Amino acid sequence: MDYLPLFHNLKGRNILVIGGGEIALRKVRLVQEASAIITIVAKDFCPDLLEMNARDKEHGCNGLNLITASYEHQHMLDLPNIVMVIAATNDRDLNRLVSEHAQNANILSNVVDDPKFSTVIFPSIVDRSPIQIAISSGGDAPVLVRLLRTRFEALLPAGMSKLGSLAGSFRERVKAKFSNGADRKAFWEEVFYGPIAEQAYANNLDEAERLLAHKLESTDEFKTGEVYLVGGGPGDPDLLTFKALRLMQQADIVLYDRLVSPEVLNLVRRDATRIYVGKTAGDHPVTQDNINQKLVDYALEGNRVVRLKGGDPFIFGRGGEEIETLAEHGIPFQVVPGITAASGCASYAGIPLTHRDHAQSVRFIAGHLRSGKMDLNWPELVQPNQTLVFYMGLNGMETICEQLKQHGLDAQTPAALIEKGTTDRQQVFIGDLNSLPEIVRSAGAKAPTLIIVGHVVSLHDKLAWFNVTETTQ
């Protein structure tokens, strides 16, 4: 971490600014919003600074302390209790001299557009006071920072400031009501994700305050045990839904499987308890019944539990079995769909699952071996103009290819295996029913993988767009 993000209280404190142009103006506006006392030293002042000063004095404010002069070290020495100096002139040598004087006096210094000579830098700010977000690249990528700020501005409702202020006014009352920190957290999460928040966002503050007071008075014991079955998608964290991310950030406990990518898992709330319940072929250290019971037990303790699954919970994810158990025990739950591996991996490999000229239907098939066999309705799978997608098929790949050929599918039918699809480790192996097993085994491909069989695979060469250099043929 190059810089430690901090929020400074500048109310009524002295700030010295050297420079009177447009560059200085931007910094002055920021520190003035923080209610600092601002002294500016410059030979000349831009019209906007003069207008700002005149407007403040007209409205009875103290305004700016403007000193028309060339900067001298004495200006810094004469101003008592300075907390920060901003060097904002077009003279780089002067800016660095100002910074040197400040640092020698242990005063925070900011040199505009010269972070190497600054002890503090100004971030890009999303202001929903009392909620504030500061974004910085340490001066390395200012355009990227502006892009991120734009995204945050769009994501945060303008009424977030109203909700933050309302919460602050009730903070002590809530603290007195709930002695247990977990109960307080659960109470506030219900407030921030419910009708009270919506009323605040709509600027109906009286109604929001009424609802919050009623909720506080009517709540004796706050237990919100609930389970969220969340589809984590095929690996790329950008493919998560907004709801998935929101619930992952609320969770007290997260049970995750081996198909959840590290990048997706890193988006779970930092202080949540993470429990690995992954299973591989022939290795089931945590049985499905045990997972089902864990979900029930943790919810009954009042926790918000996320069952985080790779892909989609209802496509070979055993989500149906888990919510059956939850329903039997009266545990409230939600299901958040995820992008299933077939859709995500095929898209990132440039293989459309359906195409007017190649395939008018697609089948998703569990391709794992059981006792060395694969009991599938092979004649039904060998149909024209159909794409076959085999999940969990790496170990049984030879069986899949041989059975399809034996039941009438042409040996030259294009086939692909996608390893770690949608991630920066993605590899795509292209062949046909005859050649694919040897190509994959020679390369040493490892799970997670997905097998696609059908003429749509022939479009890969033309349509591949992601991580093309990693493609193996």
Which residue numbers belong to the known binding site for NAD(+)?
22-23, 43-44
Q: Cα–Cα distance between 339 and 355 in angstroms, integer?
A: 20
* Cis peptide preceding 448, ω within 30 of 0: yes
Q: Name residue 125's beta-bridge partners.
A: 134
> How many CB atoms are closer than 10 A to CB 90?
10
CB 272 within 8 A of CB 253: yes
- Residue 203: DSSP 8-state: T
- Residues flagged as binding site: 22-23, 43-44, 234, 310-312, 315, 340-341, 392, 421
What does the block give as tokens for 298?
Answer: 């943790």
What strand order describes the sheet that includes 414-419? 361-366, 386-391, 449-453, 414-419, 427-432
Residue 257 annotated to the active site? yes
Residue 279 annotated to the active site? yes
Look at residues 273, 276, 281 and name the one whose alpha carbon lies nearest to residue 260: 276
Look at residues 281, 262, 273 and name the one whose alpha carbon lies nearest to residue 297: 273
The one catalytic residue among 257, 309, 420, 432: 257
Question: What is 269-319 written as a DSSP string?
Answer: -TTSEEEE---BTTB-SS-HHHHHHHHHHHHHTT-EEEEEESB-TTSSS-H
> How many CB atoms are closer than 10 A to CB 211?
19
Block residue for tokens 């440039």:
350
Look at residues 150, 250, 129 and name the one whose alpha carbon lies nearest to residue 192: 250
The one catalytic residue among 177, 185, 279, 294: 279
- Residues flagged as binding site for S-adenosyl-L-methionine: 234, 310-312, 315, 340-341, 392, 421
Say which residues have a Cβ less than 8 Å from residue 424's Cβ, sequence separation at least 6. Answer: 467
Residue 419 CA from chain centroid, whole number: 24
Active-site residues: which are they? 257, 279
